[in-house]
Amino acid sequence: MSDRRQLALNLFIYPGGHHEAAWRYKGSAADRVLDISYYQELAKRAEAHKFDAIFFADGPALADNVRYAQRFRLEPITWLSAIAAVTSRIGLIATASTTYMEPYNLARLFASLDHISGGRAGWNIVTTSAPQAAQNFGLPEHPPHGERYERAREFIDVVTRLWDSWEDEALVNDPASGIFADTGKVHTIDHIGKHFRVRGPLNISRPPQGRPVYVQAGSSDDGRAFAARFAEAIFTAHQTLASAQEFYTAIKRQARVFDRSPDQIKVLPGISPFIGSTQAEADRLQDEFNALIQPEYSLTQLRQMIGLDLSGFDLDGPFPRHLIDTQSAQGVASRFKLVIDIVDRERPTIRQLVQRLAGARGHWVIAGPPEKIADNIQAWFEGGAADGFNVMPPWLPGGFDLFVEQVVPILRKRRLFRDDYTGTTLRDHYGLTRPESIFADTIQAIA
Tell me the residue ranges of DSSP E strands in 182-286.
191-192, 197-198, 213-216, 233-236, 266-275
Other C-beta atoms within 10 Å of 66: how many? 11
d(CA 446, CA 436): 19
How far is it, in rounded angstroms, from Cα 230 to Cα 148?
A: 15
The radius of gyration of the chain from alpha carbons, rounded to an integer in Å, stands at 22
H/E element, 268: strand 266-275
Asked if residue 58 belongs to a known ligand binding site, the reply is yes
Is 95 labelled a binding residue? yes
* Residue 353, H or E segment: helix 350-358
Q: Is 271 helix (H, G, I), strand (E, B) or coil?
A: strand
Pairing of strands 91-97, 121-126: parallel
The closest of 245, 101, 366, 260 to 375, measured between CA atoms, is 366
- Rounded to an integer, what distance in angstroms lies between the CA atom of residue 93 and that of residue 79? 11
Distance CA 246, CA 268 (A): 14
Is 259 annotated in some ligand binding site? Answer: no
What is the C-alpha separation between 231 and 289, in angstroms, rounded?
34
Q: What is the dihedral of CA 255, 6, 417, 43, to 10 degrees?
A: -40
Q: Running DSSP on this structure, what letter comes out for residue 62?
A: P
Distance CA 403, CA 426 (A): 22
221 annotated ligand-binding residue: no
Is 149 annotated in a binding site? The answer is: yes
Asked if the bond preceding 201 is cis, omega within 30° of 0, the reply is yes
What pairing do the DSSP bridges indicate for beta strands 266-275 and 233-236? parallel
219 is in an annotated binding site: yes
Q: How far apart are CA 173 and CA 179, in angstroms?
A: 6
Q: List the binding residues for FMN.
A: 58, 95, 145, 149, 219-220
Binding-site members are: 58, 95, 145, 149, 219-220
